[in-house]
Structures are given as C-alpha cells and as structure tokens.
C-alpha cells in the first residue's frame, strides 16, 4: 500500500515561498481575460448600436408608408353610393342607433396611440441622425 500511495499522491507544502509569484501570474491572467472580455463587450455594443439604428430606420419607413397609405387610399370598408338621377319617393327606414360613445372612444384611443407612435418614431429618427452625424464628425477628426 505504501508504494501505491507514494506514487499517486504528491504532497506539497501548503504555504510555499512562491505565493507572490503565483499571485502575479494570476493577476496577469485576470487582466488578459478582462481585456478580452472588454473587447468582446465593445464589439457587442457596436453591433447592437448598428442593428438598433437599422431597425429604427426600417420601422420609421414602415410606419411612414403605412400612414401615407392610410391617408391617401380610400377606405375599403366604405362602399361608394351610386348616383341617383331621379329622386324617388322617400322610403321609411327604421333607424338603428349605434353605440356612438364606444366608437368615439375607440377612435380617440387609436388616434392617440398613432400620434404617440409617430412622435416616438420621429424622436428616435432624429436621435439616430444626430448620432450618425456625431460619429461621422468624430471619425473625420
């Protein structure tokens, strides 16, 4: 048993005189890893910034296109009424009252939501343009 235990187990002193050297090696390794991680983090931030700018531009274009199409194209739900050349006798119709307050509230909330969304997109686009100009000015310096 003694021959087996001596060959597999290597005992060292718990506190040797090399602790300062070991600490310096560990500190150097830690600084190398920290530098690598900071480099990767900077790359990730740069990539995220670029992707965010592209997403804002695309979102602004999509929103603007949607708003322009809604403003200029006719509503498909509304049907065109045919023109009457000769007036006929009035026909009595039963009038159904729709819930005007609910439709008004829904349309008001929708218009408010669109106003906020367009304002937010406009502000993000302005920030993107300002950041792009600043980065171009910094790169030229």
State the pLDDT at residue 1: 47
State the pLDDT at residue 2: 52
- Number of separate domains in the chain: 1
The answer to whether residue 24 is domain-embedded is no
The answer to whether residue 47 is domain-embedded is yes
* pLDDT value at 96 more than 70: no
* pLDDT value at 90 more than 90: no
Please name the residues in contact with 122: beta carbons below 8 A apart, sequence gap of 6 or more: 60
Q: Which of 138, 141, 124 is nearest to 53 (CA)?
A: 124
Q: What is the mean pLDDT of residues 101-110?
A: 76
Lowest mean pLDDT among 36-50, 95-109, 115-129: 95-109
Rounded Cα distance, 53 and 62, in Å? 14
The answer to whether residue 83 is domain-embedded is no
Q: Which domain holds residue 65?
A: 31-74+103-133
The answer to whether residue 16 is domain-embedded is no
């Amino acid at each position: 048993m003694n021959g087996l235990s001596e060959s597999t187990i290597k005992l060292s002193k718990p506190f040797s005189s090399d602790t300062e050297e070991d600490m310096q090696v560990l500190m150097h390794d830690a600084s190398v890893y920290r530098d690598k991680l900071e480099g990767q983090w900077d790359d990730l931030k740069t990539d995220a910034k670029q992707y965010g700018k592209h997403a804002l531009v695309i979102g602004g274009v999509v929103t603007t296109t949607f708003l322009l199409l809604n403003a200029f194209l006719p509503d498909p739900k509304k049907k065109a009424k045919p023109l009457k050349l000769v007036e006929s006798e009035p026909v009595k119709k039963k009038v159904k009252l729709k819930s005007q307050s609910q439709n008004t509230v829904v349309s008001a909330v929708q218009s408010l939501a669109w106003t906020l969304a367009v304002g937010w997109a406009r502000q993000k686009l302005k920030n993107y343009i300002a950041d792009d100009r600043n980065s171009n000015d910094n790169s030229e310096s």
